[in-house]
Amino acid sequence: MRVALYLRCSTSKQDLDSQRREVMAWAEREGHTYTLYEDNAQSGFKREREKVQLMMQDAAAGKFEAVGVLEVSRLGRSIKQIYELTEALVEKKVDIYLAKTGTKLDYHSLEGRALLGGLALAAELEGILIRERNERGRRKIKDEHIKVGRRQKESVTAGAVEALRGQGRTISEIARLLNSNKATIHRRLKESRFISAHL
């Protein structure tokens, strides 16, 4: 069977690798041929997603018979959106499979609709909780004037390294104590010896 594999992640800090591996493994186990549609750094609350739109165009053109997603929340984060997308696919005679469990969402049966409803509700509630948590984090950063970005490593001086070396510390121990790495410690030791040689 020809299937569309749809993947989505919400932020650029996430990646699609694990989703991709799981949905491809499902398709290959079932003997399906597949096309990947990937929306990277796209919120599930966003209606206009480039790869969803392309996937729907290809569905209308009859390029596949089913859509495989890792879980319902990949399709969207609102109940209305998930139902609209599901109904649009069903109208095009395209089935939806959850690759994680291999479950087909049977939209034509009462049980299938109930399952979809429960999964859609869970996806929306989870999305709301994620939004609220992120908002709390942003408020905390603003209220407490927390600086964000990469943490600067402590300055490692040749004198500090030499002093610890004089105590019999190993390179690894010195690196750990000074929040540094072994390459930096070796460089500082060379600098210290060079300075000593030229005093």
Q: Where are the alpha helices (DSSP H) in 8-109?
A: 17-29, 50-60, 79-91
CB atoms under 10 Å from CB of 65, counted, come to: 15
Residue 144 pLDDT: 66
Q: How far apart are CA 100 and CA 28, in angstroms?
A: 13
* Strand ordering across the sheet containing 2-8: 33-39, 2-8, 66-69, 95-98, 103-104
Residue 199 pLDDT: 45
The CATH number fitting domain 2-140, selected from 3.30.720.110, 1.10.150.20, 3.30.450.20, 3.40.50.1390: 3.40.50.1390
User: For 97-163, what is the HEC assignment?
Assistant: EECCCCEECCCCCHHHHHHHHHHHHHHHHHHHHHHHHHHHHHHHHHHCCCCCCCCCCCCCCHHHHHH
Of 5, 13, 17, 71, give the one whose Cα is nearest residue 44: 71
Of 121, 69, 74, 73, give the one whose Cα is nearest residue 98: 69
Tokens encoding 86: 């599901």
Give this prediction's pTM.
0.60
Question: Taking the domains of the chain in order of start, what are their residue ranges?
Answer: 2-140, 158-197
Tokens encoding 129: 């909780």
Residue 198 pLDDT: 44
Tens of pLDDT, residue by residue, the chain (199 residues): 999 999 998 876 677 898 999 999 999 999 999 999 999 888 878 878 999 999 999 999 999 999 999 999 899 888 888 988 999 999 999 999 999 888 999 887 878 777 877 877 877 777 777 777 767 776 766 666 655 554 444 467 877 888 788 778 888 888 888 888 888 888 888 876 655 554 4
Exposure pattern of 142-170 as b/e (b: 16+ CB <10 Å)? eeeeeeeeeeeeeebebebbbebbeeebe
- Quickly tell me which residue has 């003997």 as its tokens: 31
Provide the 8-state DSSP code for 76. -
Cα distance from N-terminal residue to C-terminal residue, the chain: 79
